[in-house]
Amino acid sequence: MENPRHKDDFFGNNQIIIPKEVIHHYVKDKFFRNALYVTEVGYSSKHHYKFNQSNSSDCMLIYCLYGKGYCETQHDAFTIQANEFMLLSADQHKHFHAAPQNPGSIYWVHFNGSMINELKSELGFQKYERPTLLPFGVEVLEAWNKVYSSLSNGFEPENLGYANLSLYHLISLFVFPNKQNENIQKDEDQLEKSIAFMKENLQKHLTVDGIAKEFNYSSSHYSTLFKQKTGLSPIDYFIRLKIQYACQLLTQSNLIIKEVAQKVGYEDPFYFSRIFKKVTGKSPVEYKGQAKIKSNKASIAQRQFELTL
């Protein structure tokens, strides 16, 4: 089986084209694979590009993650912007090019199959002939990547079958956005619960695998969702929660450094001090000392104010 063929004139090495002979021998005569199948898949990030599909018999899904592009169909011309998509049937003339000053990041897939006409009528493709808003969800990129990654591994029947089945899921995320929004809200709720879980276990040594398992995620998926929400990895966030609590203990209690370290899950006070300084820029001793000076100054100022009354 030949390796995936990449074109260099459009998306560079980021476009995979399924050869016609592969589709003929391994897809069209197999009911399992020919109902809906991928013919091309690609993406571009911060590149200037354009393409014409006026002679194609394929449907095309275009998704703009960020930036801007211009698309012409049989009926109109549109600007497609961040978090918008278009789903175009084969009878639409398709011309697309990136905005010169803001080419952005575009994901796209061409597909065909024996159930295309049924799919068009059931889903009402005409609704998506103009840019349609789709709130960002990591599921879209993960579903697209399943298609791309599978075909990147070659055109063996199992790779084609997996990519084509993944295509169903990818399309469903665009045409049934309410379901995706439900998943996004569920993830939001789970992430908030995981943060609460961290706060309740500051004295423990938690791992990404342990937290993810607690909330029924794989560690990689949980890490992706968490960083998307907070900008930090789960462990970096957990460490900052620990240090935040340690700051409170240093300024609001009489605990010594070793006792504070133990309260936030560090048996080695020297290691705790290194982590504390990395996060705050000061050692625990310096932080406690400066906080005490500020407290004393505030007390003096308050007494002076009271004397003037």
Domain ends where: 175, 202, 225? 175
Statement to judge: residues 103 and 156 lie in one domain: yes
pTM greater than 0.85: no
pLDDT per residue rounded down to tens, the chain (309 residues): 444 544 444 444 488 999 989 988 888 777 767 789 999 998 887 555 566 666 678 899 999 888 888 888 887 888 888 889 999 888 787 778 777 777 778 889 999 988 888 888 777 778 888 899 887 767 888 889 999 999 999 999 889 989 999 999 899 888 876 655 555 566 677 888 999 999 999 999 999 999 999 988 888 888 988 887 888 999 999 999 999 999 999 988 889 999 999 999 999 999 999 999 999 999 999 898 886 655 555 554 455 434 444
Please count the CA atoms within 13 angstroms of the CA of 220 that sit on its side-chain side: 2
Statement to judge: residues 151 and 191 lie in one domain: no
CA distance 173 to 152: 22
Statement to judge: residues 280 and 191 lie in one domain: yes
Measured from the Cβ of residue 267, the count of other Cβ atoms closer than 10 Å reads 10
Strand spans (E) along the chain = 5-6, 15-17, 37-45, 50-52, 59-66, 68-72, 77-81, 84-88, 95-98, 105-112, 132-133
Statement to judge: residues 155 and 222 lie in one domain: no
Please give the full DSSP string across 232-282, using - where no structure is assigned: S-HHHHHHHHHHHHHHHHHHHS---HHHHHHHTT-S-HHHHHHHHHHHHSS
Statement to judge: residues 140 and 83 lie in one domain: yes
Which CATH number fits the domain that encloses residue 276? Answer: 1.10.10.60
Statement to judge: residues 160 and 193 lie in one domain: no
- Structural domains in the chain (count): 2
Which CATH number fits the domain that encloses residue 107? Answer: 2.60.120.280
Domain ends where: 141, 175, 209? 175
- What local confidence, expressed as pLDDT, does residue 269 receive? 93
Statement to judge: residues 187 and 113 lie in one domain: no
Statement to judge: residues 207 and 118 lie in one domain: no
Statement to judge: residues 208 and 289 lie in one domain: yes
Statement to judge: residues 78 and 109 lie in one domain: yes
For the chain, the maximum distance between any two Cα atoms, rounded to a whole number of angstroms, is 95
Statement to judge: residues 116 and 199 lie in one domain: no
**Contact at 8 Å (CB) between 110 and 39?**
yes
Residue tagged 């796209």 (tokens): 108
Statement to judge: residues 149 and 230 lie in one domain: no
Q: Which domain holds residue 247?
A: 183-309
CA distance 248 to 28: 67
- What local confidence, expressed as pLDDT, does residue 13 receive? 46
Domain ends where: 131, 157, 175? 175
